[in-house]
Amino acid sequence: MRAQPITALTLAPADGAAEADEHRLRSAIAWACMARARGHRPFGAVITSPDGTVLAEAHGGSADGSDCTAHAEINALRSLSPRLGRDVLAQATLYSSAEPCAMCAGAICWSGIGRVVYGLDTARLRRFRGRSGGQYLLDMPCRDVFATASRPIVCIGPLLIDEAIAPHVGFWKP
């Protein structure tokens, strides 16, 4: 099943950009698979410049929950913050294997990232994670956080849903 992109605050990418977005989103999903294989939560993020140069790549933190802020998006942003200014980040795209949570969406806003493309949406992810088992979740889509930002943030997703689901199958305990 492949959902149509949903956008907030701006229009969807042009046809040529859609193929490049799928390619880069697959890289974020590959990071999610790598995270799972290493015993971490199955999330991945890739940040690129407008020409497609990879600026940062990261996966989610340990499944033991020792650092509740070690989400893939934040890990990628942390590696960029000291090196790149907001003028560069405003032109960058963050690709996330799953919809950024409210915390990550806030970090994306504050970082200056101008564009986000994600795979698995929160509603589908919740089917895997459940609502119990020590999971602390906020029911706030990233678009709601982005809508409060002082500047527009392009948000495209969900995309490549079947591929983005794969790292989560069998990982979460309901």
Detail the DSSP E strand segments found in the chain. Answer: 6-8, 44-48, 54-59, 93-98, 115-120, 154-157
Catalytic position from the list 57, 73, 99, 163:
73
In this structure, are residues 47 and 143 in contact, taking their beta carbons and an 8 Å threshold? Answer: no
73 is catalytic: yes
In this structure, are residues 38 and 60 in contact, taking their beta carbons and an 8 Å threshold? Answer: no
In this structure, are residues 61 and 70 in contact, taking their beta carbons and an 8 Å threshold? Answer: yes
**Token couple for 166:** 């794969």
Catalytic positions are 73
